[in-house]
């Protein structure tokens, strides 16, 4: 085990296991939200604007915070208070920053008559949903941080085959795959340029290299 773990024998506990499953759900949930954005990008042919990309980055960063807790539990069989603070702290910063980015995009289209950017889901644009989910994440992370004293240094039976390792590894691989896909998607849209246009209408990489004219 890591040298950061206490020398005293660790105890089990329901809250420790719940915290692990919540971290898995948090990482998978935000990764799934980014997948939804990728569906609209490649399935509905909607080009994400710079603010959309920024929101995706913070979504993935929030998922990475939870993934740190999952990875630590899989590696050490327990999560120290320090690792809980690091993981959920990263997720909290990402959720707050992402909330500001989605709020900014919402305010750009708040005037009467403005149709907004992109499609709607259940009557709300994707960036409005992003703002709601970021705000909900701030509350959720605050709650789990409040109980961190009762969930840290608890045994998580993640060593060897079993549902803990299976789901945990699936969450980590899912996140890593979506990060890679998102990097490729952004590169194709930005092409050989430093900045995305405010209202993108094509994948500039293919025009930059002469594949399309």
pLDDT tens column, 112-129:
888 888 888 888 999 999
- Tokens found for residue 4: 């950061």
Q: For every residue of 186-198, which 3-state class applies, written as one string?
A: HHHHHCCCCCCCC
All residues at 6 or more sequence positions from 137 whose CB lies less than 8 Å from its CB, including other chains: 26, 30, 62, 91, 95
Residue 5: inside a domain: no
Supply the pLDDT for residue 178. Answer: 97
Is 139's pLDDT higher than 60? yes
Residue 7: inside a domain: no
pTM exceeds 0.85 for this model:
yes
Residue 57: inside a domain: yes
Supply the pLDDT for residue 9. Answer: 52
Rounded to 5 degrees, φ, ψ at 117 are: -115, 125
Q: Which helix (H) or strand (E) holds 128?
A: helix 126-146
Domain that holds residue 177: 14-208
Q: Over the chain, what is the mean pLDDT?
A: 88
Number of domains in the chain: 1
Contact 41, 143 (CB under 8 A): no
Directed axis angle between helix 81-108 and helix 14-42, to 10°?
30
Residue 6: inside a domain: no
Rounded CA separation 7/102 (Å): 45
Residue 148: inside a domain: yes
Residue 70: inside a domain: yes
Residue 119: inside a domain: yes
Return the residue matching tokens 């702290």. 89
Residue 213: inside a domain: no
């Amino acid at each position: 085990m890591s040298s950061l773990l206490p020398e005293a024998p660790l105890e089990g506990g329901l809250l420790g296991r719940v915290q692990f499953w919540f971290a898995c759900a948090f990482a998978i949930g935000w990764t799934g939200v980014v997948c939804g954005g990728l569906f609209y990008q490649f399935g509905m042919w909607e080009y994400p604007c710079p603010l959309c990309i920024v929101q995706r980055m913070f979504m993935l960063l929030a998922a990475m915070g939870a993934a740190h807790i999952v990875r630590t539990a899989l590696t050490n069989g327990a999560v120290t208070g320090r690792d809980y603070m690091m993981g959920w702290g990263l997720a909290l910063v990402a959720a707050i920053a992402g909330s500001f980015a989605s709020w900014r995009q919402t305010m750009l289209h708040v005037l009467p008559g403005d149709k907004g950017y992109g499609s709607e889901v259940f009557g709300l644009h994707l960036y409005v949903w992003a703002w709601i989910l970021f705000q909900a994440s701030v509350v959720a992370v605050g709650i789990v941080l409040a109980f961190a004293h009762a969930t840290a240094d608890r045994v998580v039976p993640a060593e060897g085959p079993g549902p803990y390792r299976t789901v945990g590894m699936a969450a980590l691989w899912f996140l890593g795959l979506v990060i890679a896909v998102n990097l490729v998607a952004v590169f194709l849209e930005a092409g050989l340029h430093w900045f995305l246009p405010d209202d993108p209408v094509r994948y500039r990489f293919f025009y930059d290299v002469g594949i399309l004219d």
